Structure 1
């Protein structure tokens, strides 16, 4: 996609909607209000994953995002955008009005219902300078379902890691390392937060480690028969073993129904 030249004082807008006519309508509405609210569309995407890829090469002042989209919806996209070094504000655009009250209570920049009117869009864009940033906790409350991806800032790019690919997570100093079959990734999140967000997916083995329940091959007792020994978790697809603390062993045994 060719990115248009920046107009002096114009807002850089990224439009994200899984329906092409909806994207085209928002682009046309931005043109209708150009006299009072100049803007330039830096890109259009069909879902959150495409939007994040576009933002690797294009800068945006605001994202107009539908809430319900395949692959990655608008709320998960907003959560990733809020974690960027320079967070990008989001205005939700959707046909589902049941989200409206929650979005406003969470101090969303604004919330537009389809079909969007030009004057209503102009009002939303005018609020950008004084709007509060959406918190990750607020966005999580807006869409209580689990995220499907972790976002990692690496070498100036936004990497998306599918959560189902993670074998385990370990806390190391100020960061959390996510281990997959292919490689390790560094997350700027806490184990406590991740354990709370994914209680059915992740299981705590000890103070510094969570394992994906789906990645557990089994467990094995390690140590001499006459010694107390300890238990280790065996993982699918890798030779690495993860020790289980004595404190966590009863919970691990119960969770794995051993």
Structure 2
């Protein structure tokens, strides 16, 4: 993937570097890339910038010795002076501290992301960086994205300081609740921070929308049952709900979606 965008990850915390790698892996279908290296401090980063020539550096601010801001100033100064024939990388900060944002943009950073970073926010920053690259490089990256057309086979769950990869074939349904998505498998529930609409678009062949807040795996639908409201709900209209394989829970089908989903079970 020589045409994929090249990225260097710089952070003194191994867990933070792993988190960025996980996010980038999730974004690979939309943005083909190569992680050309990792660095735990500024000297290591400078060495890898010379050796690997990354197009983008994902950079922490607070590091031992030279801070990320100082490193970015060094990169910016070298780019402006023309002391190297090699193009200097674009910088995107990823940090837990919001007080350095002004300094970051003074050194021409593309974006300033606060931890914990969401995948969609990182994608927006990387896409903004693409607009600063030469047109022929951007075109090559776009063509590679269309050619590979690979999608995720897992959902990344961040739980108690670790990353859990949930295979998509084990997911029964995805349900939006407040700012989280509940990922339900036969064994348990997980929480992720993603957009239900984006998940629907990415996995349209695997999941079907049954309600404005719920997607159900097509393979998990065992049937439907009609419910007549009783008790306090007796005045309401009858409705349909999905009967799921391996999960006792029933999910209601909205009137709008019923015409779409009623023929999924032969």
User: In the TM superposition, what whole-angstrom CA distance separates every residue of 1:101-130 from its partner, at most 9, and x where no partner exists?
Assistant: xxxxxxxxxxxxxxxxxx998142586373
Kindly indicate which of the two structures has a greater share of residues assigned to helix: 2
Change (3 A) 1:210 1:120: same
Aligned to 1:122: 51
1:246 lines up with 2:255 in the alignment = yes
Deviation at 1:163, TM superposition (A): 1.1
TM-score (norm 1): 0.51
> Over residues 14-41 of structure 1, what are the superposed CA-to-partner deviations in whole Å (9 max), with x where a residue is unaligned?
9xxxxxxxxxxxxxxxxxxxxxxxx9xx
Structure 1 segment 1-258 matched on structure 2, within 5 A: 56=15, 59=17, 78-80=24-26, 90-91=34-35, 122-125=51-54, 128=57, 130-131=89-90, 135=123, 143-223=148-228, 228-254=237-263, 256=264, 258=266
Quickly say closer, same or farther: Cα 1:121–1:144, change in 2 above 3 A.
farther
Alpha-carbon separation, structure 2, partners of 1:132 and 1:200: 37
Q: Distance in 2 between matches of 1:154 and 1:175?
A: 13
Q: Secondary structure at the match of 2:256?
A: coil
Q: Indicate how the Cα distance of structure 1 residues 121 and 130 shifts in structure 2: closer, same or farther if over 3 A, else same.
A: closer
Residue 127 to residue 145, structure 1, CA distance change in 2 (3 Å):
closer
Q: What is the CA RMSD across the aligned residues, in angstroms?
A: 4.1
- TM superposition score normalised by structure 2: 0.50
Q: 1: distance between equivalents of 2:151 and 2:54?
A: 29
Any conservation in 2 of the 1:181–1:238 contact (CA below 8 Å)? yes
In 2, are the aligned partners of 1:62 and 1:90 still within 8 Å (CA)? Answer: no
- Number of residue pairs aligned between Structure 1 and Structure 2: 162
**CA distance in 2 between partners of 1:81 and 1:198 (Å):** 14
Q: Which has the higher contact order (CA 8 A, sep 6+)?
A: 2
Partner SS state of residue 79, structure 1: helix
Distance 1:126 1:244, change over 3 A: closer
Secondary structure, counterpart of 2:262 in structure 1: helix
CA distance in structure 1 between the partners assigned to 2:223 and 2:175 by the alignment: 19
Distance 2:170 2:228 in 1: 31
Q: Counterparts of 1:156 and 1:221 in 2: how far apart (Å)?
A: 43
Does the Cα contact within 8 Å between 2:222 and 2:265 map onto a contact in 1? no
3-state DSSP of counterpart to 1:178: strand
For 1:179-212, what per-residue CA distance to the aligned partner results, in whole angstroms no more than 9, with x for missing partners?
A: 1111111111011000000011000010100001
